[in-house]
Amino acid sequence: MIVFPAIDILDNQCVRLYKGDPTQKTVYGDPLEKAKIFEQAGAQYLHIVDLNAAFDSDDKTNFETIKKITSYVNIPVQLGGGIRSLDDISYRIEVLGAERVILGTIAYSSPYILKEALKRFSDKIVVGMDAKDGFLAIKGWQEITQKDVLRLGSELKDIGVKTVLFTDISRDGVLSGINIPKTIQIQNQCGLDVIASGGAKDMNDIEELSKANIYGVILGKSLYENKIDLKKAIERSKQC
């Protein structure tokens, strides 16, 4: 299982938001320094979210910072936030240096863009699957749809999606524990590689996900609040 340390960037600072609310943020310093620390701890991959772009797709505030990270750190970067077009995808891969990009609402509002992205970039595309009570949430978690995530997962698999990032939004940033049963259900029933996100709280979460052969897990607040040691989490993920 791949352990992805998360770096959320707002105004060129590493931050964590409480339930995605920009007014409830905690600042954790320089994103590049965090990336270097995570690399030294043995991270295989970084998960970066450009929050400025997520809130305003025309906001390029963090682009130089992201480019510095991909240039100075020798591990691949998975990048999300503010991706609204095929040009946005290609820019993040070809110019900013991301190895993979995460498509959110655009994957559902513009099926054509998702299909074209899969044709052009194949496994460099990860689809974000944010859910509350088992139903898809879109538009920055502001709208809960009637789309069941298991049915959605099967549909994504059918059109060529290989990897999804599943977040239980009721648990994100509050250290209440990942929704492990639903994560396992999506991977096993839909045949997708699932990256689990939203509230990892301790090493028990890491062990359970790893034993279930889940593809990956995002660690955010649990790292920044010293609830989980990254090096130990990576070691544990390989042992199970």
Q: Is 148 a catalytic residue?
A: no
Going by C-alpha positions, the residue among 79, 177, 84, 192 that lies closest to residue 129 is 192
Q: How confident is the model at residue 221 (pLDDT cuts 50, 70, 90)?
A: confident
User: To 10 degrees, the CA torsion angle through 10, 15, 17, 18?
Assistant: -160
- Across the range 46-74, mean pLDDT stands at 96
Q: Which of 8, 50, 88, 168 is catalytic?
A: 8
Half-sphere exposure of 189 (CA within 13 A, CB side): 14
C-alpha 180/C-alpha 164 separation (Å) is 15
pLDDT tens digits, 188-213: 999 999 999 977 888 999 999 999 99
Q: Is 172 a catalytic residue?
A: no
- Mean pLDDT of all residues belonging to the chain: 92
The reported pLDDT for the residue numbered 69 is 99
The reported pLDDT for the residue numbered 132 is 84
234 close to 38: Cβ distance less than 8 angstroms = no
The reported pLDDT for the residue numbered 147 is 85
**Per-residue pLDDT for 175 more than 60?**
no
Q: Which domains does the chain possess? A: 2-239 (3.20.20.70)
Highest mean pLDDT among 105-109, 199-203, 236-240: 105-109
Select the more confidently predicted residue: 131 or 27: 27
pLDDT tens digits, 126-162: 999 988 887 888 766 566 877 899 999 999 999 999 9
- Work out the percent of the chain whose per-residue pLDDT is above 90: 76
Give the DSSP letter string of 19-45: TTEEEEEEE---HHHHHHHHHHTT-S-
**Per-residue pLDDT for 173 more than 60?**
no
Amino acid sitting at position 62: N
Q: Which of 130, 168, 172, 205 is catalytic?
A: 130
**Per-residue pLDDT for 105 more than 90?**
no
The reported pLDDT for the residue numbered 47 is 99
- Across the range 228-238, mean pLDDT stands at 94
The reported pLDDT for the residue numbered 203 is 92
